[in-house]
Amino acid sequence: MKQKRSLIESFNNAIEGLIYVLRTQRNMQIEFLLAFLVLILSLFLGIQKLEFIALLFAAFFVLIAELVNTALEASIDVVATTYDPLAKIAKDVAAAAVLLSSINAIVIGIIIFHDKLNAWTVDLVKALRSPNKLYITIVSLFTVLILVIVVKTFKGQHSFLKGGWISGHSALAFSMLTAIVFATE
């Protein structure tokens, strides 16, 4: 007979599952980061309550689809010890669910953010061409540097200065080039 688990143990198991997927699945890491950034961005763009709910549902739909995809893949790997075309179909269909949920999230994001980002981008370009160019350049460079460090830490990379999923040198160089382009008219 199975021993009854407490509610805390159930939550702990669920959190362990989430942490496992975040540590082992590259796509989940990207989707989690993008969902976080979209929700943070929504705070600064004056998103209405229903728009925020739509963004929240779209983001969680992608994350849940990725969790189910990972669980299904792990279950299939336990059962299928050799190549099985039906196992491949099951894995491909689960991956398609993630793809469709991601497309859904992108479309919802475009619909909600298009007008707001367009106006915000125009204001940002005007601000970047203002007399505070040095201040904005310094803040931008430090922001890029911090983001590189955060992403490399999140990815578990041991070297912050060479190679990896994101190149700090390339990111800083691009940031400097962008600052130069905006500084010159």
- What residues are annotated to the active site? 66
Structural contact between residues 55 and 39, judged by C-beta atoms closer than 8 angstroms: yes
Q: Taking Cα atoms as reference points, which of 35, 19, 27 lies closest to residue 99?
A: 27
Rounded Cα–Cα distance for residues 165 and 167 (Å) = 7
Burial (Cβ within 10 Å: 0-12, 13-18, ≥19) of residue 182 = middle
Q: Taking Cα atoms as reference points, which of 46, 165, 37 lies closest to residue 105?
A: 37
